[in-house]
Amino acid sequence: MEVVDRVFAAADAVDEGEVRRQGIGLVDGTVPGYALLLGDDGAAAADVARALAGRQILTFVAEEPLVEALRASGVALGWESRVVPLEGIDALAFIARVAQVFGSASDQEAALAYARRRLRGFTLLLGQPTPDRLATARAALAFGCPLVGTADLPPLDEGWNEEEMGYRAVVGGLPPGDLVPTAIEERGLRIHVPVPALPVEHGPDFCGEVVREGPTLRGVELVLMGEGLEDGRVAVVGPDLDGIADEQPFGLLIEVSGRAMQPDFEGVLERQIETMVNELRGVMHRGQRAAVTLRVAPRAVEQGLRLSHLGRFLHARFHQEFGNILSRVQVTVFTDPARVAELAARAAEVYARRDARLQGLTDEAVDTFYTCTLCQSIAATHICVISPEHPGVCGAQDWLDTRAAVSIRPVGPNRPVPKEGPIDPRLGRWESVDRIVQQETGGAIQAYSLYSMMQDPGPSCGDFECITAMLPMANGVMVVDREYRGPTPSGMDWDSLYELVGGGLPVPGFIGHSKRLLRSAKYIAAEGGWRRIVWMPRALREEMRPALEALAAEAGVLGFVDKIATEDDALSEEEVLAHMERVKHPALGLEPLM
């Protein structure tokens, strides 16, 4: 191509010092990429240039009308501000020289290949596609720069292989405000978003902090893919922290988009919220999905911490952790009770849809399980081993989620565990599982049974929805959820059981778990499974009735759910046993629990 030849001819005259100063950032990712700005629409130029500069993208302003418009708007120009007036040929010559120097490219094709692979640029057109502008855009396309513009654009290169390149050659007809986000998504740039100034300290050291007083928000969290999002938009709907005296409903909606983002990744990102929020000093996050508790220390509120800070913090942290798959993050915090209820209803449908993905998939049908150590930030020895029929303790991570998480971040809190060296299929023990559990807990836990609550059960962090506890006299177990605060036949209420179970170390005879586990045929299967359930709070029993009835019907045990005692029937083991004898509960015929 003639224009490309002119570009490389001009590369010999490029300032070598600037090539090395700017090129190192393009190569190591400090500067995510570069933009070639063409056109004559000065009205939109300042906003576009600021959007690029705010994302640390090196911007070449190639036409004089745009340069004049930027000067008039007070936009700083020059290498220091990374908004550089430079004609199209000279700008591409600069990129060509960076490719030659840092890619050790000895010929033109090698330099172009390096630029396409490592330097990540795009062309933005503000205005009409004149022949000269299209000629420059074609030359830029050879460097891997798609053309994104406000006008309808003709094809640039009929030989462009979108599937091979991973992005389109031309995207036109966009409003000016969508140019930069669309170009970033097309080219797959990873944008560095710094954490904003906050009135409180933040960092991993604060993740284990316990906050016992202050405004308490209870509710639901949801991460969803969205369209037409405004990156960095944060909204608070309802009272803020300085207007909450005690407890308040809470909803957090994080909408994301990106070229590599997939619906299967939503749950993975959602599960990260707790770890991120706990980095804020004076803030304690516990729970997942629709069982979230957020408590903020009075001192943090006095220092000026508000929910908008929480939103901006999450926006930055999502970009930092998941910039390889997303480019837009929009956060809405709800404390208005009606809006929280709307979000909770929407979330329930999403959770149900996610949970249904695993229907019919068994542990025997896969050859790999996965670990999750996210909660080691709040319980140092905690680990979950997750299989299709054994979800994470929190219920927010299932086998598909953890598999997706490994694809997003191969080095992170999730690791694959090949099923090797079976020890006891009844207990759900494998040599490979024990080995990785020992490694990930520093030897604190030596063995891990997926299907037993009595022999080497897995540990429980603080994010479980339910606790299953043995009732030896009744030869069964009770299941209590965090919503029930009354007495139980074990003699312990939820808070006492939580203190016993939630320390991150196994306690034989007691397990913390999600409601999802109660739907699984592998729930305490080594002890007889669902047949062992002899007591539940009435609300939980009715909530789980469809799932338990389905399991019982498959086994030919009719009327099982109504044989489970509730607080209306029994509040001691003796009363539970009497109830079981009256209704002929199947647990009476099982082997002794102890």
Rounded to an integer, the average pLDDT of 142-164 is: 85
Contact residues for 9 (Cβ-Cβ < 8 A; gap 6+) = none
Alpha helices in 441-524 (DSSP H): 494-501
Q: Looking at residue 412, what is its pLDDT? A: 83
pLDDT higher than 90, residue 447: yes
Q: Looking at residue 228, what is its pLDDT? A: 85
Confidence class for position 1, pLDDT limits 50, 70, 90: low
pLDDT higher than 90, residue 287: no
Rounded to an integer, the average pLDDT of 476-490 is: 96
Q: Which of 281, 283, 314 is nearest to 200 (CA)?
A: 281
Q: Looking at residue 512, what is its pLDDT? A: 95
Instruction: Determine the straight-line distance between the first and last CA of the chain, rounded to whole angstroms.
Output: 81
358-394: string of b/e by CB count within 10 Å (b at 16+)?
beeeebeeeeebbbbbbbbbbbbbbbbbbbbbbbbbb
> What is the C-alpha separation between 419 and 430, in angstroms, rounded?
7
Q: Looking at residue 292, what is its pLDDT? A: 94
pLDDT higher than 80, residue 164: no
pLDDT higher than 80, residue 163: no
Instruction: Determine the residue type at 392.
Output: G
Angle (nearest 5°) at CA 152 between 149 and 158: 90
At 430 the three-state DSSP class reads strand
pLDDT higher than 90, residue 323: no
Q: Which domains does the chain carry?
A: 2-187 (3.40.50.2030), 204-356 (3.30.1650.10), 363-589 (3.40.1470.10)
DSSP character at residue 220: E
Helix axes 42-54, 176-187, angle to 10 degrees: 40
At 165 the three-state DSSP class reads helix
Distances (CA, A) of 178 to 67, 190, 227, 375, 403: 21, 17, 11, 38, 33
| Antiparallel, parallel or unpaired: β 533-535 and 292-296 | unpaired
pLDDT higher than 90, residue 167: no
DSSP character at residue 587: G
Q: Looking at residue 497, what is its pLDDT? A: 95
Q: How many CA atoms lie within 13 A of 213 on its CB side?
A: 3
Task: Tell me what the pLDDT averaged over the chain comes to.
Answer: 93
Confidence class for position 106, pLDDT limits 50, 70, 90: confident
Contacts 24+ apart (CB under 8 A), 582-591: 585/476, 585/534, 586/531, 586/557, 586/560, 587/474, 587/475, 587/476, 587/528, 587/531, 587/532, 587/533, 587/534, 588/475, 590/475, 590/476, 590/527, 590/528, 590/531, 590/532, 591/528
pLDDT higher than 70, residue 151: yes
Contact residues for 442 (Cβ-Cβ < 8 A; gap 6+) = 381
- The H or E element that residue 356 is part of is helix 337-356
> What is the C-alpha separation between 276 and 203, in angstroms, rounded?
9
Instruction: Tell me the pLDDT tens digit for each residue of 528-564.
Output: 999 999 999 999 999 999 999 999 999 999 899 999 9
pLDDT higher than 90, residue 428: yes
**Facing residues of 369 across strands?**
417
pLDDT higher than 80, residue 452: yes
At 474 the three-state DSSP class reads helix
Confidence class for position 422, pLDDT limits 50, 70, 90: very high
Instruction: Tell me the pLDDT tens digit for each residue of 29-48.
Output: 889 999 999 999 889 999 99
Which conformational region is residue 438 in: left (phi greater than 0), alpha (psi within -120 to 50 degrees), or beta? alpha
Contact residues for 83 (Cβ-Cβ < 8 A; gap 6+) = 49, 52, 53, 59, 61, 70, 75, 76, 77
Q: Looking at residue 165, what is its pLDDT? A: 80
Please give the backbone phi and psi of residue 566, each rounded to the nearest 5 degrees, phi first.
-125, -175
| pLDDT over 70, % of the chain | 99
pLDDT higher than 90, residue 411: no
Whether 300 and 308 have beta carbons less than 8 Å apart is answered as: no
Whether 58 and 26 have beta carbons less than 8 Å apart is answered as: yes
Contact residues for 540 (Cβ-Cβ < 8 A; gap 6+) = 466, 479, 480, 481, 483, 484, 515
Instruction: Tell me the pLDDT tens digit for each residue of 342-393.
Output: 999 999 999 999 988 888 899 999 999 999 998 887 788 899 999 999 999 9
256-293: string of b/e by CB count within 10 Å (b at 16+)?
bbbbebeebbbbbbbbbbbbbbbbbbbbbbbbbbbbbb
Instruction: Tell me the pLDDT tens digit for each residue of 169-226.
Output: 999 999 998 999 999 988 888 888 889 999 999 999 898 899 999 999 999 999 999 9
Q: Which of 104, 115, 101 is nearest to 20 (CA)?
A: 101
Instruction: Determine the residue type at 51.
Output: A
> What is the C-alpha separation between 68 and 45, in angstroms, rounded?
10
Both tokens of 231, joined, read 């990156």
> What is the C-alpha separation between 268 and 402, in angstroms, rounded?
7
Q: Looking at residue 461, what is its pLDDT? A: 87
Higher pLDDT, 508 or 207: 508
- The H or E element that residue 21 is part of is helix 16-28
Q: Looking at residue 170, what is its pLDDT? A: 92
Whether 106 and 128 have beta carbons less than 8 Å apart is answered as: no
pLDDT higher than 70, residue 67: yes
Q: Looking at residue 158, what is its pLDDT? A: 64
